[in-house]
Structure 1
Amino acid sequence: MTALDEYRRLEALGLWRERAEDQRREVVVSLGDATLVMSAPSGEAVGHWSLPAVERRNPGKSPALFAPSSDSEEELEIADAEMVAAIERIRTAIARSRPRPGRLRLVLAAGVIAAIALLGLFWLPGALTRQTVSLLPDAKRVEIGEDLLTEMITIAGRPCGGQGGRTALMRLSVRTFGTEDAPRLILFPSLIPETTSLPGNFIVTSASLAEDYETPEVFAGYLLAEGLRRDLRDPVEIFLTEAGLGVTFRLLTTGAIPEDAIHAHAARLLSRGVSALPDDALIDRFATARISTQPYAFARDVSGESVLGLIEADPMRGQANEPVLSDADWVSLQEICSS
């Protein structure tokens, strides 16, 4: 120990007593190997104290009073400032080198608290949302979808509703998705983005998909893309993630959703762009529906450069195309907003 080496030969006079009722005796105090040694003037050692255990009973006062432990009657009085400073320095050095279980516990406790906080901040909201989504019955999903649709109508105006057009929309949905998974399609006169999914198996679409293109394959392609987005991420999960932990917990415990959360999400859906999709997964959807990818690809990029993968991997290349809609249904769909 550096502090001990520096004071190894230091000696000073002191007054020592073994018990409280004893008279103080003059002794020679010297620093030994990790000990404080008290000797009589004759040279006989009268006491050995372990330096790590030595305690000072009157910090900051002079002469200094030391004891071998807190509960000991033995006491040593030293007036020599250099010896007192040496003992204090050695005690401080020893104290710093000791293990600190209290500090370790504090560090561990702080780490645990931080881990719990991070867990609550990053894991709990997602876990609670996923749990709520998995437990939500179909009827509640439909209710949420209808509430969002009502709010979208308040913001964007009424959807197109000509009778012939509604029938054509139903047939387009069945032709694109099959009879078991056909969503209800709602078509607005103008909408950004072109498609968006609502809980309860609703897909909201823009009238431009019918009005701006010559064939229904383009419309069907946008629907297939939206169906893939919906399957990759549940619309209810998107809603609850954006609404926050409070709305999620309220839905899980009471089944209720605040109106302002519905309004805010409906507004976001009406102004949100669509996410990109992997070509392979999208092509598989077209292949299952037996619909060519080329009309949809060229509708997205007339040059074909950014959608070359969809064009070259068209699953219907060289095969007879099955009609998506009859000419009469397609005309009815194109006129749905004018009837």
Structure 2
Amino acid sequence: MTALSEYERLEAIGLWRPEPGAQRREVIVSLGDASVVISDSKSSSALAHWSLPAMIRRNPGTRPALFAPSDEPGEELEIEDETMIAAIEKVHVIIETHRPHPGRLRGVLIGAVVLAFGAVGILWVPGAMVNHAASITPQAKRIEIGRKLLTELATMTGPPCRSGPGDRALSQLSARLPAHATIVVLPEALAGARLLPGKLAVVGRNTIDGPDTPEVVAGYLIAAEASGSDDTPLKRMLEALGPAASLRLMTTGNLPDSGIVDYAKRLLREPPERADSDTLLRAFKAAGVSSTPYAYALDPTGESVLSLIEADPFKGAPAPRPVLADAQWVALQDICTAS
């Protein structure tokens, strides 16, 4: 078998690992006749030759692509170059079409039975599919989904509030509440806080404009985290979108754009269900934040949130360390008004 003429002398940069656990190194990947040559990027000396027909793709539908010389554990090659990925995939298609297929009818029948059982599985075990999709999605993809959700939210609320001092205050708040790598303030339409995949959190302007203490915005974030129990924001999103979205995420690595838009609307429309008082109090204690300011933000009379006030883990005593310094809190409160 000879590689397609349009890909003759095709080369790309890749990352090669000679064995599991070994340090990856930058290499030059060359597509040749029936093989892929892996060479050192500095000396150009050949490090490995892989048979094209025997190569396998470890992560179909995901970028960067991960290839291996066989299905045995060992070498691994990571490629980001789209042209090289397409070339390898196209050569594999050509190999497959020219390969004899004994028992094709039997394969079709078996495939039909498998699809039938798969359809039953989708109908009967959607929860298992959601759980599996949420558990295998890498952090980079979670961040990508969270960013897409944020973009859709911004079309409905206005762009996120930004200012130099305010952004630094948000970074400090993220460090103080490490469950949230990035915190964004939206100017309109959002009340409270919402969690997005990828450790991204959005808070409404109401959490910083009216209160006189940063414990309020911290409280909304802590409560949003506690409301999900052990569920991740991605799992909650997949549960809302249904098993078809989970199947698409597992097979293509993406979610439908319409589903992202619909879920963004739902986030604005429906605040997260508040956890019970005991769960909230444990969460506030673990975060080292007083629950009383948050309780009065929910109900200025305190009547419906009396347990959060009376059982405040830091009632009558300061929290271990402040949520934000005074100057940082002032900067955060001005983040939506700074020119």
TM-score by length of 1: 0.61
1:169-248 matches, within 5 Å, as 169-175=170-176, 177-178=177-178, 181-248=179-246
CA distance in 1, matches of 2:280, 2:140: 29
1:1-339 matches, within 5 Å, as 120=121, 123-175=124-176, 177-178=177-178, 181-321=179-319, 322-339=321-338
Amino acid aligned to 1:242: A
Q: Shift in Å at residue 152 of structure 1?
A: 1.2
Q: Shift in Å at residue 174 of structure 1?
A: 1.8
CA distance in 1, matches of 2:180, 2:244: 33
Q: Shift in Å at residue 232 of structure 1?
A: 3.5
Q: Are 1:193 and 1:274, in contact at CA under 8 Å, matched by a contact in 2?
A: no
Q: Shift in Å at residue 318 of structure 1?
A: 3.2
CA distance in 1, matches of 2:166, 2:265: 26
CA distance in 1, matches of 2:122, 2:255: 22
1:145-174 per-position Cα deviation (integer Å, ceiling 9, x unaligned) = 111111111222101011111111111222
Q: CA 1:279–1:122 in 2, change beyond 3 Å: closer, same or farther? A: farther
Secondary structure of the residue that 1:270 maps to in structure 2? Answer: helix
Secondary structure of the residue that 1:233 maps to in structure 2? Answer: coil
Q: Shift in Å at residue 332 of structure 1?
A: 0.4
Larger radius of gyration: 1
Amino acid aligned to 1:163: G
Q: Are 2:194 and 2:267, in contact at CA under 8 Å, matched by a contact in 1?
A: yes
Structure 2 spans left out of the alignment, 5+ residues: 1-116
CA distance in 2, matches of 1:273, 1:260: 21
CA distance in 1, matches of 2:190, 2:158: 13
CA distance in 2, matches of 1:294, 1:152: 30
Q: CA 1:122–1:193 in 2, change beyond 3 Å: closer, same or farther? A: farther
TM-score by length of 2: 0.61
Identity fraction in percent = 40
CA distance in 2, matches of 1:190, 1:117: 44
Aligned residues: 221
Q: Are 2:122 and 2:129, in contact at CA under 8 Å, matched by a contact in 1?
A: no
Q: Shift in Å at residue 230 of structure 1?
A: 4.0
Q: Shift in Å at residue 119 of structure 1?
A: 6.5
CA distance in 2, matches of 1:244, 1:224: 27
Q: Are 2:238 and 2:246, in contact at CA under 8 Å, matched by a contact in 1?
A: yes
Q: Shift in Å at residue 301 of structure 1?
A: 1.0
Q: Shift in Å at residue 203 of structure 1?
A: 0.7
